[in-house]
Amino acid sequence: MKSWFVRLMIASTGAVAGHAALAALPPPPKPIGIKPAPAPAPAAPLSAIAQYLNIDINAPARYASVTLPAYYDAQLLRSDNTPPNNRITDKGATLGRVLFWDKRLSVNDTVACATCHQPANGFSATTQFSKGYSGVSGTAHAMGLANIAFYRDGRMFWDRRAASVEAQATQPIQNTIEMGYDASNGGINALLVKMQGLPYYPELFKAVYGDAAITEQRIQLALAQFERSMISANSRWDQGYAKTYNAGLADKGLSLDVPGLTAQENTGRRLFMGGPNNGGIGCAGCHQPPTFALSPNSLSNGLDAGETRVFKSPSLKSLSPGQPMMHDGRFTTFEQVVSFYNLGVKNGPALDNRLKTQRGDPRVPNLSRTDQAALVAFLKTLDDPTLRIDTRFGNPFKQ
């Protein structure tokens, strides 16, 4: 009995001791509270500009401050027809670029300014007459836009009916054939209402003008800035003349042979630059280098007998072979144009005196075939391929 009792007591004492030992252990650590990760903040909504356009209006391409050759000197820059209230700005020209390419500015969203004035074609068209929003063709060829800033007279269209680039800018939009916002379709006010509903325009106009108001005048100002920034100054002739330009010479070096041009091309250059009594045929008297924009006092070129109208012409820079030329696009090659001035000028009341003899008859240069070919070769040196591919003038819309 005693041994059994003793064993029971020992067991009981061990159990108590075991419980005491457990009681002496430190309590288990409290579970660490893990806070759930905060939900990510919703992404800022894309601006309408970013949704529709490949531009950054807050960091636009450079239009206002571009480097021009030295021969774009103070005298030449005085021929710039930019008005004091519409100097080119980077943001303003960027808005003009969007307007220029936007087909929504036509009644049925099918035609933009760029539809007819394509950069790849010298901001002109390869067809004689362009089709408007309804498929009907116009009656005048789409004029090239390169160097329009340097037509001192400032008037636009072939018939010079618009007083300025600004006044010209919205006339195609309101034309019955071209873009269709004539009176029967609500006029310019209908377009302004439409533009207010296009989400990128209020943002663009606010960025440029400080508020989102869309007006015809603001459209005109922006389009004119964009168009005047289309300067052609990197043709083969430009690259060569940059080396012979001399501000100290009376003609600033225009009569000197141009390096980089072939012998034939320099022969054509001499014919173009020289006056009728100085080894040339006087082309430069009207088409004035280095911009080759038309002299503001030029009259009719005698395309048709008895002509009373006076047409302006675009700069001869960036014309491409195969592109229709003259107001009605009747010529499609430089050879045809040279042949016309050589033998085909017709008399009329408006014929320019520079195309007349002292007796008042049309001048007939009677160039040889060799000289005609040389003149054609020179005209081709005025093409500026960099202007055709300059991304500042390309389509800004996301495809």
Q: How far apart are the first and last CA of the chain?
A: 104
- Phi, psi angles (nearest 5°) of residue 293: -80, 160
Output phi, psi for 95, to 5 deg: -60, -40
Cite the beta strand spans of 167-313 per DSSP E.
287-288, 293-294
Which residues, at least 6 apart from 39, have a Cβ–Cβ distance to it below 8 Å?
none
pLDDT for the residue 167: 97
Identify the band that residue 15 occupies on the pLDDT scale cut at 50, 70 and 90: very low
pLDDT tens track for 193-233: 999 999 999 999 999 999 999 999 999 999 999 999 999 99
At residue 38, does pLDDT exceed 70?
no
The Cα 32–Cα 44 span in angstroms is 35
19 SS3 class: helix
Higher-pLDDT residue of 317, 2: 317
What are residue 235's phi and psi, to 5 degrees?
-75, 175
Residue 351 in 3-state DSSP? strand
- Tens of pLDDT, residue by residue over 259-307, are 999 999 999 999 999 999 889 999 999 999 999 999 999 999 999 999 9
Q: Predicted confidence band at 375 (pLDDT cuts at 50, 70, 90)?
A: very high
* Residue 38 C-alpha from the chain's centroid: 48
Residue that is written with structure tokens 């006029």 in the block:
187
pLDDT, averaged across the chain: 90
Burial call 216-243: b when 16+ CB within 10 Å, e when fewer? bebbbbbbbbbbbbbbbbbbbbbbbbbe
pLDDT for 19 beyond 70? no
Name 356's bridge partners. 362
pLDDT digits (tens, 9 = 90+) for 70-115: 999 999 999 999 999 999 999 999 999 999 999 999 999 999 999 9
What confidence score (pLDDT) does residue 96 get? Answer: 98
Q: How confident is the model at residue 319 (pLDDT cuts 50, 70, 90)?
A: confident
Model confidence band, residue 29 (pLDDT cutoffs 50, 70, 90) = low
Lowest mean pLDDT: which of 2-11, 121-130, 223-232, 355-364?
A: 2-11
Tell me the per-residue pLDDT of 106-142, one tens digit each, with 9 for 90 and over: 999 999 999 999 999 999 999 999 999 999 999 999 9
pTM given for the model: 0.87
Give the Cβ contact number of residue 127 at 10 Å: 15
What per-residue confidence (pLDDT) applies to 14? Answer: 44
pLDDT of residue 31: 52
Question: Tell me: the pLDDT tens digits for 61-71?
Answer: 999 999 999 99
Percent of the chain with pLDDT over 70: 88
Closest by CA position to 273, among listed 282, 261, 265: 282
257, HSE (Cβ side, Cα atoms, 13 Å): 9
d(CA 98, CA 46): 18
**Structure-token match 């820079």, residue found:** 317
Alpha-carbon dihedral of residues 169, 170, 173, 175, nearest 10 degrees? -100
